[in-house]
Amino acid sequence: MSSSDIDRKIAVIFATDVVGYSKHMEKDEDATLASLNDCNKIIEPLIKKQKGRIFNTGGDSVFAEFPSAVAAVNTAVEFQKQIKARNDKDTTEVKLEYRIGINMGDVVKQGDANLMGDGVNVAARLEALAQPGGITISKNVYDLVANKTKYEFNDLGIQKVKQNQFHAYDLLLDPSQKRKLKTQSSNTKLIAMIGGAIAAVFIGLFFSGVLDTKQNINVKNLEDSITENPSIIVMPFENISNNSEYKYLSKSIVENIISVINGSPQLVVLSSETSLDENNKNLNIQEIATKNKVRYVLTGSYQVLGKKIRITSQLNDAFKKNIIWSGKFDNEINNIFEILDDISGTIFKEAHIKVSGLPRSELSYFVSNKDYMTYLKCHDLYAQFSSKTNIESFKCLKEISDYETNSYVTMLKGWLHFQNIWMGMSKDVKRDMRLAKDIAKKSKKSLTNGMPYILAGWLDFLSKDFINTEKNAKKALELDPFNSKIIPVAGSLLRRLGHYDDALPVFTKTLELSSNPAHWVWFEYAITLTALKKYEKANKIIEKALTTKEAGTQNTILILNQAAIAIYENKIEIAKEKCKEAKSRTPNFNLEKNLKMMSDTVDKDFYDNFLSAVKSACK
């Protein structure tokens, strides 16, 4: 479709959402749904009365467009008043509260009714910024309604929510709603500018091949000693000031940075004692990396001139012998703690993006590094694939400060509901399916990446809706072609649909993007190659996979894959040896149970032939 074919317009967008909906559902699902239905009966006629139109709903959320800003604001005020009156009644069993955001901006018509674009996205961000029972509007809406209504407003200044920055106002329904939020400071803007420049450099490096993970490593000792996870050492920052008074800052900078990035499951970070070891002095980057068995070395310097301090830093790749990120930070020396926090926060993000392959957008969804670290801990529990850790992951997520509104937290809850079904752990399959589908549908509006589509695709696969499974998998690949965490999940769906020629380049691309993917990616790649009869390549992939840390009994399945390949190639003795090896690895070995990860496929002919080959090897 050409740009001239896209149906664009300026619209006033109204967005509302229930506060703590998931918590209400967990406590009393039936009563919550009944209350939600009652509230929908309030909002729908109010929108219609002001000539508005609902264009999208997602469980507990409502998006509507209005012909004027005044109409949208009047609807919001009346709705909040009626909801409050409803909640004040003793007979109201579940007292739902709503947040409302209103924005005017550019939108794109999708299909017959839906709207998308920045106008909708900012309205959703304003809603997330609003207080429970409150209304938050953009400046352009405020400019249109301030002199045409008698409402009171509170200027919140420039706000940043997720990836959007805007000037916001609260509409005060009650004086107690007046609040003061921290605005985007000039120093934060400086760091944002640095981050943007870093992103541009990184993209240029990536597409020029400098950051390609298919490496020709020349430093043999380093290659032999490298840790499995991405590893980093923070070296002492050099004081290049004429004044030795600030020599103490070198240690402070190192310890601040380490304290922020240490503990992340995505990184191996050496201790400050190692960083400050005198034996590391006068060594070059390759020598430091070899001595300390790391790949990445963070170095830097600082200079104090009068009341000003400038700190520079660079992240070095010892394998590639190049600098993959650099940054410069200027501030008042009296603000040293603020600048140390800024540096540590920026390096935390850059280390995860450059070293562990994390998409930059993921970090922007978290209020603090602490919240992000908690999210990683929760995700690790989810990735252990057990009933116990699923429950622990649900509990863990509640430790995150914006648990109810964080889009990534919501997505992980969706995956946990899915996993309950997938692994046979669900106590109520219909409930888990409904909650997961609601999350996938809602997240398509709140997230711009492919994650909601792969969740929707997996739920479609479980429901045997294979047409939409394929559509959602391919949409995820379209939205996130370079996300090494998302594309292999989409590839797994394509593999299960029997679309091996489509799945193969996805797994190839995954290994180009990440040299240390999740263990199951190797398994999916090997199975795809086996289905395409690329046996030599499949065996090489399996041998590589067997050297990495497995989850559950995935290595057993891979060895059985080797046994099947040996049968296909009429290498009977090798097949029997492989089956024997698989049995020795797995207590209470059960062939069909161990192959369950493969059995969920549309291509039953391939699975039946594979199972027959493995049975021949194991008889």
- The 3-state secondary structure of 332-401 reads EHHHHHHHHHHHHHHHHHHHHHHCCCCCHHHHCCCCCHHHHHHHHHHHHHHCCCCHHHHHHHHHHHCCCC
Those residues with Cβ within 8 angstroms of residue 93's Cβ, 6 or more apart along the chain or in another chain: 28, 31, 34, 35
Domain contains 260 = yes
In the DSSP assignment, the letter for residue 235 is P
Using CA atoms, how far apart are residues 226 and 231, in angstroms rounded to an integer? 8
Residue 226 and residue 323 in one domain = yes
How far is the C-alpha of 275 from the C-alpha of 297, rounded, in Å?
A: 10
Whole domain around residue 156: which residue ranges? 3-177
For residues 197 and 262, membership in a common domain is answered with yes
Amino acid symbol at 390: N
Mean residue pLDDT of the chain comes to 80
Distance in angstroms (rounded) separating the CA atoms of residues 267 and 262:
8
Last residue of a domain, one of 333, 358, 383: 358
Phi, psi (degrees; rounded to nearest 5) at 22: -60, -40
Are 556 and 594 found together in one domain?
yes
Q: Give the pLDDT of residue 195.
A: 37
Q: Are residues 65 and 202 in the same domain?
A: no
Q: Which CATH number do you get for residue 18?
A: 3.30.70.1230
Q: Specify if 317 maps to a domain.
A: yes
Regarding whether 252 and 150 lie in a shared domain, the answer is: no
- Mapping DSSP to helix (H, G, I), strand (E, B) and coil, where does residue 543 land? helix
Residue 523 to residues 68, 410, 469, 526, 555, Cα–Cα distance (Å): 55, 28, 21, 5, 8
H or E element at residue 438: helix 429-446
CB hemisphere CA count around 571 (13 angstroms): 12
Residue 610 tokens, joined: 């594979």
Copy the structure tokens of residue 308.
Answer: 């000003």
- Closest by CA to 454, choosing from 429, 430, 432, 471, is 471
pLDDT beyond 90 at 90: no
**Between 379 and 227, where is the model more confident?**
379
Count of positions (residues) in the chain: 619
Distances, alpha carbon 441 to alpha carbons 207, 438, 454, 456, in Å? 33, 5, 11, 8
pLDDT of residue 494: 96
Tell which wins on pLDDT, 2 or 23.
23
Q: Does the pLDDT at position 163 exceed 90?
A: no
Give the lowest-confidence range in 123-132, 248-257, 342-351: 342-351
202 and 170 share one domain: no
The pairing of strands 164-172 and 308-317 is unpaired
Note whether residue 383 is domain-resident. Answer: no
What is the Cα–Cα distance from 127 to 116, expressed in whole angstroms?
Answer: 16
Q: What is the pLDDT of residue 350?
A: 64
What per-residue confidence (pLDDT) applies to 544?
85
pLDDT digits (tens, 9 = 90+) for 42-53: 999 999 999 999
Q: What pLDDT shows up at residue 597? A: 60
DSSP 568-618: HTT-HHHHHHHHHHHHHHSTT--HHHHTHHHHS-S-HHHHHHHHHHHHHHH
Specify whether 229 is located in the same domain as 172: no
Q: Residue 492 belongs to a domain with what CATH number?
A: 1.25.40.10
pLDDT of residue 394: 93
**DSSP label at residue 549:** -
Q: In this prediction, what percent of the chain has a pLDDT beyond 70? A: 80
Between these two residues, 556 and 439, which has the higher pLDDT value?
A: 439
Domain annotation covers residue 596: yes
Residue 337 has pLDDT above 80, yes or no: no
Residues 471 and 494 both lie in one domain: yes
- When mean pLDDT is compared across 102-106, 109-113, 440-444, the lowest value belongs to 109-113
Residues 146, 228, single domain; the answer is no
Give the residue from 333, 334, 268, 327 showing the smallest Cα distance to 301: 327
Is the per-residue pLDDT at 134 higher than 90?
yes
CB 157 within 8 A of CB 312: no
The answer as to whether 339 is a domain residue is yes
517 phi, psi to nearest 5 deg: -75, 175
Please report, for the domain that includes residue 212, its CATH number: 3.40.50.10070
pLDDT at 164: 64
Asked if residue 446 and residue 595 are part of one domain, the reply reads yes
Residue 16 belongs to some domain of the structure: yes
Cβ-based burial of 466 (10 A; exposed 0-12, middle 13-18, buried ≥19): middle
Cα–Cα distance between 15 and 124 in angstroms, integer? 6
Q: What is the pLDDT of residues 35-89, one digit of tens each?
A: 999 999 999 999 999 999 998 886 688 999 999 999 999 999 999 999 999 998 8
Among the candidates 358, 382, 409, a domain finishes at: 358
Residue 251 lies in a domain: yes
177, 194, 219 — which closes off a domain?
177
Query: Do 231 and 169 have their domain in common?
Result: no
pLDDT digits 0-9 by tens, 477-530? 988 887 777 899 999 999 999 999 999 999 998 887 666 677 788 889 999 999
Separation of alpha carbons 593 and 39, rounded Å: 47
Give yes or no for a contact between 347 and 377, defined as CB atoms under 8 angstroms apart.
no
Number of CB atoms found within 10 A of residue 150's CB: 4
Question: How many structural domains are present in the chain?
Answer: 3
* Same domain membership, residue 450 and residue 588: yes
Structure tokens at 379: 């995700």
Cα radius of gyration (the chain): 27
Q: Closest by alpha carbon to 198, among 330, 352, 339, 55?
A: 352
Q: Scan for tokens 């046994």, then name that residue.
A: 563
Q: Looking at residue 201, what is its pLDDT?
A: 35
- SS3 state at 413: helix
- Residue 609 in any domain: the answer is yes
Residue holding tokens 């090494």?
A: 484
pLDDT tens string 383-424:
877 888 999 999 999 998 888 888 889 999 999 999 999 888
pLDDT confidence of 254, banded at 50, 70, 90? confident
3-state secondary structure of 618: helix
Going by pLDDT thresholds of 50, 70 and 90, the confidence category of residue 445 is confident
Give the number of other Cβ atoms within 10 Å of residue 18's Cβ.
23
| 463/512 Cα distance (integer angstroms) | 32
Stretch 316-328: mean pLDDT: 79
**Given 3-state DSSP classes, what are the helix, strand and coil percentages for the chain, each rounded to the nearest 5?**
55, 15, 30
**pLDDT band, residue 552 (cuts 50/70/90):** low
